[in-house]
């Protein structure tokens, strides 16, 4: 995989990536069609975003005759995982549990999903700690001023 991928993309670029991920290999015409319907974007707008994604290394380009064919250099699940990891890296360790609970509460889940979570939680019990430490830099979270362990 290309080590020079810049996966920091805008919401608009994300829209383009979703089309590419859904279809593996696409032409700009196909991307334009989907996003014209969904976002009412003009072809030039979509082409601008495609160009930026190529520059960032997110899209791979190959030519087929006169046509450009685009494919993703980073797959969707790796991309999502990267975003989630980055988000959780910015949350105080003490707040991670609450954040996950609120994600679960909002999500629509199947019995199968819940079964998987129950198994994951059962495993987690084995290395659970009495209290999750705050590893934040002073001034970047409230743990240092307030007593988080007393719950809030
Ligand atoms: Zn903290």
**pLDDT (tens digit per residue) in 31-52:** 999 999 999 999 999 999 999 9
Model pTM?
Answer: 0.80
Assign 135 a pLDDT band (cuts: 50, 70, 90): confident
What is the distance of C-alpha 110 from the center of its chain? 21
- Strand, coil or helix: 70: strand
Q: How far is the CA of 47 from the centre of ligand 1 (A)?
A: 43
What span, in angstroms and rounded, lies between the C-alpha atoms of 99 and 140?
17
Q: How far is the CA of 1 from the centre of ligand 1 (A)?
A: 35
Dig out the tokens for 12 from the structure.
């608009």
**Residues in a beta bridge with 69:** 27, 62
Q: How far is the CA of 143 from the centre of ligand 1 (A)?
A: 5
């Amino acid at each position: 995989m290309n080590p020079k991928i810049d996966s920091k993309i805008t919401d608009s670029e994300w829209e383009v990536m979703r089309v590419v991920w859904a279809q593996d290999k696409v032409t700009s015409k196909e991307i334009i069609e989907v996003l014209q319907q969904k976002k009412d974007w003009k072809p030039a707008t979509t082409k601008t975003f495609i160009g930026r994604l190529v520059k960032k290394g997110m899209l791979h380009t190959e030519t087929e005759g006169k046509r450009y064919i685009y494919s993703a250099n980073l797959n969707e699940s790796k991309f999502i995982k990267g975003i989630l990891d980055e988000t959780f890296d910015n949350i105080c360790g003490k707040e991670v549990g609450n954040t996950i609970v609120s994600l679960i509460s909002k999500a629509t889940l199947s019995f199968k999903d819940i079964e998987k979570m129950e198994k994951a939680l059962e495993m987690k019990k084995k290395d659970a700690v009495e209290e999750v430490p705050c590893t934040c830099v002073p001034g970047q979270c409230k743990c240092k001023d307030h007593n988080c362990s007393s719950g809030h």
